[in-house]
Amino acid sequence: MSRGTQERVRSNASKTMGIKLDGGINAISLNKDATQVVAAGRQVFKIFHIEEMGFRERIDLRVGRMNLNYSCNDVAWHPSKDELIATGATNGAVITWDLNKPQGNKMDQVFSDHKRTVHKVSFHPKEWYMLFSGSNDGSMKFFDLRSNKCETTYGNGQSECIRDVQCSPHQYFILAATLDNGHIQFWDYRVPDKVLLDFPGHNGPAFNLDWHPEESKWIATCGRDKIIKIWRWEGHGNVLEPEYTIYAIASVNHIKWRPEKKYHIASCSGVVDHTICVWDVRRSYMPFAVFEEHKDIVTGIAWRQDPHVFLSGSKDSMLFQHKFKDAKRPAESANPVGVSMSIYDDVCHAFNKSSARTSMQSQQNYASTNFPMRFRRTPEVSEQYERYESSLLVHEQKEVKFSESFIKSAKRYILTGKPFPELCEHNAQVAMDLGRHQIAQTWRMLRLFYCTDTASATPPVYTNKGIPPTEANDSDKDISAPQFALNHLPSHHDFLNPTASSAIDSTGVTDDNESIVSDSEHDHPSYGAPMRGKRRHRSHDGAVDFYFPLGEGEEEEEEEEEEEGGVFGRYGDEMQEWNDYAGLPTEAFGQRHEIQDRPPSPDRLQDRIRPESPVVPLLDLEPTAMTMNSQLFPSARSLNQTPSKQLPELQLSIKFTPIVVNMLSDYAEQGDVQMAVSAFIVLDSKIRNEISSEIQEQWFMSYIDLLSRFKLWCVSNQVIKLSKHPAIEILNQQSTTIYTKCNRCNQTLEKLSWVCCQKNRQSFTNPCSICHLPVKGLYAWCQGCSHGGHLEHIREWLKTNQYCPTGCGHQCEYT
Amino acid sequence: MFKAKSISAEHKDLIHDVAFDFYGQRMATCSSDQSVKVWDLGEDGEWHCTASWKTHSGSVWRVTWAHPEFGQVLASCSFDRTAVVWEEMVGDSKPNERGKHHWAQRAMLVDSRTSVSDVKFAPHHLGLQLATCSADGIVRIYEAPEVTNLATMNLQTELQTKLSCSCLSWNPSRVHPPMIAIGSDSSDPSGGGKVQIYEYKENERKWQKIDTLNVITEAVHDLAFSPNLGRSYHMLAVATKDVRIMTLKPMRRDQFVGSTRIEIRQAAQLVDFKQSQVWRVSWNVTGTILAASSDDGFVRLFKANYLDNWKCIQELKGSDGGPSPALVPSMTGGMHSRQDYPTHRGRNTSSSANQQQQQNGASATREQSNAPQGGRSRYPFMTL
């Protein structure tokens, strides 16, 4: 005990230090009181005094004529005799050295019994004359230093190379060995012809073993399988199960128990990893301390009879003494918690179970240490081991969900297809319903600024039942964007009289527009075309023809339309047109989709962004828009006829425009890009030129990204379409083609999806694989084997079967 | 109000990172037990572990999802000095293992000589790029030349930060040049600022350090750029002993003078953590709420009020079961949202009111719906 205290004092004075030797070190060993160290390698064999400030060379044992006997693979200092050292050489020689020899060569005995490299020499801990060795030739030998002869050979017949052999410090007759095939053997050294226990402990070579210095039953082994295993051997002959397992990051070459710390063991690796790790065996994955001084693989570890100081030798020729306080503690830099927020504002939280439990009562403890995670160094604490385990919690946001109001707003906002004041009013009401009062007010203010309709300038009286419930929204959402369905919502006039006139009104409007609709239908392809594309094949012989030819010559027309028609009119038409198609389509093939190849070419940009001041477009666009309005909505007609009435209103809106721009930017800055983009789309030409194209792009892209995170593809597509920004519009014109192939001849179908033109000229192909009839409506198509059929049939089939109904052997998956 | 739901993770050591995917319906966890688990939100609203596999031969520090346009792809990084890209394989699940998903190893990035402390995919508009940083201070940026071939990731750049790196974050903005922030957990305060900002210079085709945040000298454990969403500036949350929120405002081109191109300001320093360290920060989807978790087992949520004052709005206690106490009744902004209209104030200090309504105080919303509608007469606009 008193010696222990002295050791502590001495070690506290010592420090981390190193010395460079002439060559790579293969092994090190300490003398009995741990004041001297011998380092041995192929080119080096020296003894050093360990002093406070550094190593002092005591003797170089490489003297005289060099031969392979000096090329040491292992070295062992005798545990009680300070003058006796044994080495194992690469040529198979086991050599003893007598340091008391007066001059020159200290070599004492050379045993040449091994035929191959000797991996390990070790003394018996109690009997001074017993020296054991293990070699590549597959045998262990016992040398008696009294007679200087090899007395016994163990395991002579086996071919596997012996990596390590050590006597138990607690059981007098017991010897353990590890082999290249991963086996671990226990021997009684008196019985050379019978192994007590031989069992496979590792995958691949087992490199090293170490008996626990205090726990007599414990033995640790390590190997190339990157695992350190702690076994408890009771002396029986049954195969063992490891008590503890440690997973290192690389193959483990050496292990050494830490003195006085029951659960600690040091390890070093044979490849890649140049660090020395000290593990707590109860924590399998995280080293307790890491020493990073070496630049090459570490080959030897020796504790200085003190848990805080040890020496190590490495292939980088360095001999180091390590102080425990200079170690890195990976557990401290490893974070004990994880947190992530989902788009639905749910918070996932992982945290250390024990820290959460103790956090409250040990608050004051934390005040004194920066790192509550760390092991305390006092042995009392390290004995009380806490399991390192995390709890995982998902905190679900239950009340105020951003996502909810975002999704509802996105679905219910109407961005186009109605006169401006109605859009504003509707959107305001949507915001109101969702409890977003500020947004609602913003919408109403926008209407006030820009609306020339004096009737609507006076705020209508709102009732809470202003908006009818939107069942249409829900039932329709899988086939169409809900905005379309919401066209049936009452216009702002109806808010005064919410129950009566909505249906009549909206149908009336449709009728009014009939002529315009049919005109415009030819001029520019319809908004609802993609939807009709889907409907079309439902009605027509299972055709799945998604090939949209590019529109030619339509661009000019569209330009013209924009100039003269204004924006409301145009999209208004299209909306109405869509309404017409909401029932059964009247023709099998609809208009071609408005697809233009829109490269963001500079000339097109110039078309859009006018060089003049923003006032001009407002002045020349507004009247046409108003005329359009007045045609569409007779109620507004009388109010907007004369320019004299418009002028002050226009000036008002011009005056407000910078403020509105500011306000939209502000919404964007605050993270509400939805408001910014929605208002921008609704305001459209009133404000388009006031906001730089880059900012528009940024807003649109952000909003589209956000929509796609919530899987609001229809809304997203509508926004893309309404963006009128060349960089955004190209988004929905990428990869719009679906290629199909004949499921009989594997040829691609070029013109029509149900007729194979290749081999069997014009033959019908791709019927339903189950009922063999042509498919009208949705066709479920396996992308792997190109078989398929009626959605329902395929769904039914794959509920109970894994393989394709045609028997082609493909394992189809219905998702 | 949050409802806590405990999941039995069954990791054998500490969980170091959790990550939701793009759609918020999958979750990945990684742990020191060398494994990664993937959790899917089932129809029943519960999280089910659909995959669990050994990823590394060391502690797995981080796990991160790629944008779904590249497929179901994860990357993990580890103490064993590697980072690995994983891809979920569909279709070849064995019949008896239906519901268990197979994740196949794709690229293995073995350039680091020390523990890889963080791995992050670039924002998807930059293609399939991946940045890693390691304890020896090297940041590596990899790129897949073909997005369909995840097995090949070419090392594009190596940046020497000269400080042991612990975390990195990509700036998600698509209109600004690519930018990365790198944090160091070196605890030596003399080493200067612990957060470095790198930007990709298009004309020189290389990454350049453009700034070091000298105000932060403590060890940095995590940092995160907020989602951009059309803001003209970037927000960066930095987790140290406390949490700092930095704003990075890119200067307009015409104001470009010398080498400083971004104006960096500390918007907030959040110090509600008592004596514990903050280890992870995470933004919500709009970048308006910040979650910070510290080693006392709490998650604290922060939000800015209309004056841009960041306040703790909720503390979530990480205990198994038991309700989470709503610490601060989150009313700081609620009162003002009724009184002040945004544009009346300066650009940065205005109009968080709508968001207060959207996301935050349920009580705020309730209170406002009781407010008289006549409030509209107080529009500041009318006075113009």
pLDDT at B325: 40
B299:A702 CB<8 A: no
A697:B24 CB<8 A: no
Torsion angle (degrees, nearest 10) of CA B158, B161, B163, B167: -70
pLDDT at B314: 87
Determine the 3-state secondary structure of A676 from DSSP.
helix
A335:B3 CB<8 A: no
**Chain A contact set for B97 (CB, 8 A):** none
Mean pLDDT (chain A) is 73
pLDDT in tens, A419-469: 888 899 999 999 999 888 889 999 998 888 877 654 444 444 444 444 444
pLDDT at B379: 31
**Chain A contact set for B31 (CB, 8 A):** 390
| Distance between start and end Cα atoms, chain B | 40
Rounded to a whole number of angstroms, the distance from the CA of B210 to the nearest CA of chain A is 23
Whose tokens are 């396996």? That residue is A782
Q: Which residues contact A204 (CB under 8 A, 6 or more apart)?
A: A182, A223, A224, A225
Q: Is A562's pLDDT higher than 60?
A: no
Region A90-109: mean pLDDT is 87
Q: Return the structure tokens found at A568.
A: 């409301």
Region A100-116: mean pLDDT is 86
Any idea which of A33-42, A154-163, A395-404, B94-103 has the lowest mean pLDDT? B94-103
Size of interface A-B (CB pairs under 8 A): 339
Rounded to a whole number of angstroms, the distance from the CA of B145 to the nearest CA of chain A is 20
ipTM over 0.85: no
Region A199-226: mean pLDDT is 92
Rounded to a whole number of angstroms, the distance from the CA of A354 to the nearest CA of chain B is 9
A contact test, residue of B36, B46, B286, B307 with most A CBs within 10 A: B286
Q: Does B94 touch chain A (CB under 8 A)?
A: no
Region A528-555: mean pLDDT is 42
Return the CATH fold of B15-369.
Answer: Methylamine Dehydrogenase; Chain H (2.130.10)
pLDDT at A653: 66
pLDDT in tens, chain B (384 residues): 788 888 888 898 899 999 999 999 999 999 999 999 999 998 888 899 999 999 999 899 999 999 998 999 999 999 999 999 999 987 655 555 555 678 999 999 999 988 999 999 999 999 999 999 999 899 999 999 988 888 889 999 999 998 999 999 999 988 888 999 999 988 887 778 899 999 998 888 889 998 899 888 889 999 999 998 888 889 999 999 899 999 998 876 544 544 457 888 898 898 888 788 899 999 998 888 999 998 888 899 999 888 888 999 888 887 644 434 433 333 333 333 333 333 333 333 333 334 333 333 333 333 333 333 333 333 333 323
A contact test, residue of B101, B358, B370 with most A CBs within 10 A: B358
Q: In the sheet that B15-20 helps form, which strands lie side by side, from edge to edge?
A: B15-20, B26-31, B35-41, B47-54
pLDDT at A312: 94
Region A314-319: mean pLDDT is 92
pLDDT at A546: 42
**Chain A contact set for B95 (CB, 8 A):** 802
Region A715-724: mean pLDDT is 88
**Chain B contact set for A802 (CB, 8 A):** 95
Q: Does A400 touch chain B (CB under 8 A)?
A: yes
- 33-52 in chain B: CB under 8 A from chain A: 33-34, 47
pLDDT in tens, A659-691: 888 888 888 888 889 999 999 998 888 788 888
Nearest-CA residue of chain B relative to A333? B185
pLDDT at B305: 85
Give residue limits of the domains in chain B. 15-369
Whose tokens are 């490299």? That residue is A117
Of A334, A441, A673, the CB nearest to B229: A673
pLDDT in tens, A786-800: 788 888 888 888 888
**Chain A contact set for B341 (CB, 8 A):** 438
Nearest-CA residue of chain B relative to A374? B295
> Is A748 exposed, middle or buried (CB count within 10 Å of its CB: 0-12, 13-18, 19+)?
exposed
C-alpha span between B38 and B26 (Å, rounded): 7
Rounded to a whole number of angstroms, the distance from the CA of B353 to the nearest CA of chain A is 7
**Chain A contact set for B77 (CB, 8 A):** none
Q: Is A541's pLDDT higher than 80?
A: no
Q: Does B291 touch chain A (CB under 8 A)?
A: yes
Rounded to a whole number of angstroms, the distance from the CA of B288 to the nearest CA of chain A is 7
B18:A334 CB<8 A: no
A391:B289 CB<8 A: no
Burial code (b: 16+ CB inside 10 Å, e: under 16) for A587-610 equals eeebbbbbbbeeeeeeeeeeeeee
Query: In this structure, are residues A253 and A299 in contact, taking their beta carbons and an 8 Å threshold?
Result: yes
C-alpha span between A815 and A803 (Å, rounded): 14
pLDDT at B92: 52
pLDDT at A239: 82
Banded model confidence at residue A531, pLDDT cuts 50, 70, 90 = very low
Q: Does B280 touch chain A (CB under 8 A)?
A: yes
Three-class SS of A486-554: HHHCCCHHHHHCCCCCHHHHHHHHHHHHHHHHHHHHHHCCCCCHHHHHHHHHHHCCCCCCCCCCCCCCH
Rounded to a whole number of angstroms, the distance from the CA of A805 to the nearest CA of chain B is 17
Which carries the bigger pLDDT value, residue A91 or residue A803? A91
Burial code (b: 16+ CB inside 10 Å, e: under 16) for A370-393 equals eebbebeeeeeebeeeeebbbbbb
A669:B376 CB<8 A: no
Nearest-CA residue of chain A relative to B69? A708
Domains, chain A, in order of start with CATH, read: 22-159 (2.130.10.10), 335-359+386-399 (no CATH), 402-733 (no CATH), 740-800 (2.10.110)
Q: Does B303 touch chain A (CB under 8 A)?
A: no
Query: In this structure, are residues A282 and A238 in contact, taking their beta carbons and an 8 Å threshold?
Result: no
